[in-house]
Amino acid sequence: MSNGRSLPAEPTDAVEASTFTKDFLALIKIGIVNSNLITVFTGLWLAFQFSGTNFLDHLDILVYTLVGSALIIAGSAAMNNYIDTDIDPLMASKRSRPTVTGRFKPSAVLALAISFIVIGELFLFSASVSAGLFGIAGILAYVVLYSMWSKRRHVGNTIVGSISGAIPPLIGWAAVEPTLGMGAWALFLIMFIWQPPHFYALAMKRTEEYRAANIPMLPVVKGFHRTKKSMLAWVLLLFPLPFLLTELGIGFIILATALNIGWLVLAIRGFSVADDLKWAKKMFIYSLNYMTILFVSMIIFAVFV
């Protein structure tokens, strides 16, 4: 029964602000920004440790690199949303994007994307010329090579897209040591090879969506069995890579190898499972944990080098 009083309505402006923040974070793909910043920081940290440089003496480089990287990644993600406004409405998982709902006008998204990219590059060039150049390479790889060219035309689009995803640790390393080193390229290779099995698992879950949008993802064009074989091959390629980072010690190599074995076992099981999509979800979750554990462990082991 009513006591004659009505509950106060939640302020409209508070709801509006909450919705705007949620839509803005979706526009810049905050999850991708955060995960890539982990690899940027790892590159920075390992470069500091391996070169014997005290990061406390170069906090300006740390700030320039992390802020600049966050901005160019966010700007590139927004640009991807701008480019995909015609196909996103065809995919159920992407219909809530603010570029689809009309929350943000295309012109505003384009302006924001360009602004973030330009400001981010200014920060990266303040860290080092090499960091700025790698930043430009990452932007071009993601926006032009992947989003504008290969995504809609070639079944190898995931591999092309892996180039941009592997560049963030190079940006971080180049900010400290512009000439790079074996460690930097080891991080690049780990990220490059990690991405196909990670994204193929996601593509399997969204096969019908990609089919509806006419995007030639591997599961759409070649089927699940062929996709599983490809995922297995990419996981196998990860096995020698920890040995390129021997400076992190035997403990890191053992941990990385254990992670690789776990992923390999899961990949092999994919050929005998009854539910392909359930297995793909497990592969996707494992890949996320793999990347997080591996890169955080690099940061920790580097302290004891």
Residue-level pLDDT at 188: 98
Distance CA 279, CA 273 (A): 7
Provide the residue type at 67 as one letter.
V
Mean pLDDT by 10 residues, the chain (305 residues): 45 62 92 96 95 89 98 97 92 88 92 98 97 97 95 95 96 95 95 97 95 95 97 98 96 98 98 96 97 96 88
Q: What's the pLDDT at 14? A: 54
Q: Which tokens go with 189? A: 């290779």
pLDDT number for residue 49:
93
For residue 302, what pLDDT is reported? 94
Single out the residue of 166, 179, 158, 173 nearest to residue 227, CA to CA: 158
Q: Determine the pLDDT at residue 55.
A: 85
pLDDT of residue 17: 59
List domains and CATH numbers for the chain: 22-303 (1.10.600)
Contact indicator for 76, 142 with CB cutoff of 8 Å: yes
Q: How many other CB atoms are there within 10 angstroms of residue 237's CB atom?
A: 17
